[in-house]
Homo-oligomer: A and B are copies of this chain.
């Protein structure tokens, strides 16, 4: 089947991608590009991704994300990877629908139910106790057995909102949640390795189970120092959500830079590329859980991903902010019952798209 068109529907938050192929009866696939500034990603899809897939065989779809990234070497960066992801995820949907199966079954499902952790995106909630209480409420309502805090200011060179703010939030949350509920702490690259190691020890002393993105993610030497130091006192370090460069993944895998790997299925350049790193980490015994910090279709795709990879981390992330845009374009975010999300049963991703959102979105088309 030859790919005949690539269409995008976008607003500033998100971008849906529709790909058509010819052949017996034709074929359709719907994908999703990474959220945020997705209107710019949509333009990049037509400039940098569509020209490399139009006219190509839809059956070879697992080669195209790499090809898009390599051929656009003069524009290497997040937008090209996001564009590749939009196309790649549409072609996975098409392939699975042609087989009449959900993506998870099409690949080979290994589990039916995915434990979820509640990911809070509040950074400086005041009073801090309100955040701890809110998370307790989510655990009681949905059955979550783990939560994630995002204290501090992203990539802000060790400077917090005020000294001790992050520490206090962690302690209040730990005191508020029952012992059986795990806490993950993500500082979004705010620390030098020295400060991160000190903070990692604090997290260990306060019963936190995972320390995420301690240093700016492109400073892999710094992250490596933190992982090695934190291993001495038993605090697992996670990273990877922003990374799209193969050379960065090679180092993370070969030099054991992370204890838990967290590729974003879309920032990395798509599902194909995310599956590849999961397989490589599994060979090294390193568990993987994708970055899915909101309830947009990336979360739906994350559920499929966790159901098929060889060595999943015990929990998948799910955002608990419910900000409106996240489910504006689709109705099929997996429900959470007893702390677990179920794998969708519909063919492809099982993404039920809202017609009214499509009508309001900015539309662009590239075709043969």
Contacts and interface: CB of A to CB of B under 8 A. Distances in A.
Number of copies: 2
Interface residues of A, number: 30
Nearest to A221: B247
Contacts of A40: 40, 43-44, 47, 79
A236 to B, nearest CB: 23
A70 B155 CA distance: 7
Nearest to A79: B79
A218 B76 contact: yes
Contact of A154 (B73, B76, B80): B73
A37 B242 CA distance: 24
Contacts of A43: 40, 43
Interface in A195-237: 216-220
Q: Is the interface of A mostly helix, strand, loop or mixed?
A: helix
A76 B249 CA distance: 16
Contacts of A155: 70-71, 73
A277 to B, nearest CB: 16
A70 B219 CA distance: 12
Given A43-B43, A79-B79, A74 B217 contact: no
Nearest to A81: B77
A245 interface: yes
Looking at A44, A189, A218, A219, the one whose CB has the most chain B CB atoms below 10 A away is A218
Interface of A: 36-37, 40, 43-44, 47-48, 70-71, 73-81, 154-155, 189, 216-220, 242, 245-247
In the A-B complex, the 6 residue pairs with the closest CB atoms: A77-B77, A77-B78, A75-B78, A73-B155, A218-B247, A79-B79
Given A75-B79, A218-B247, 17 more contacts: A36-B74, A36-B75, A40-B79, A70-B216, A71-B155, A73-B154, A73-B216, A73-B217, A73-B242, A74-B242, A75-B77, A75-B78, A76-B218, A77-B77, A77-B78, A77-B79, A77-B80
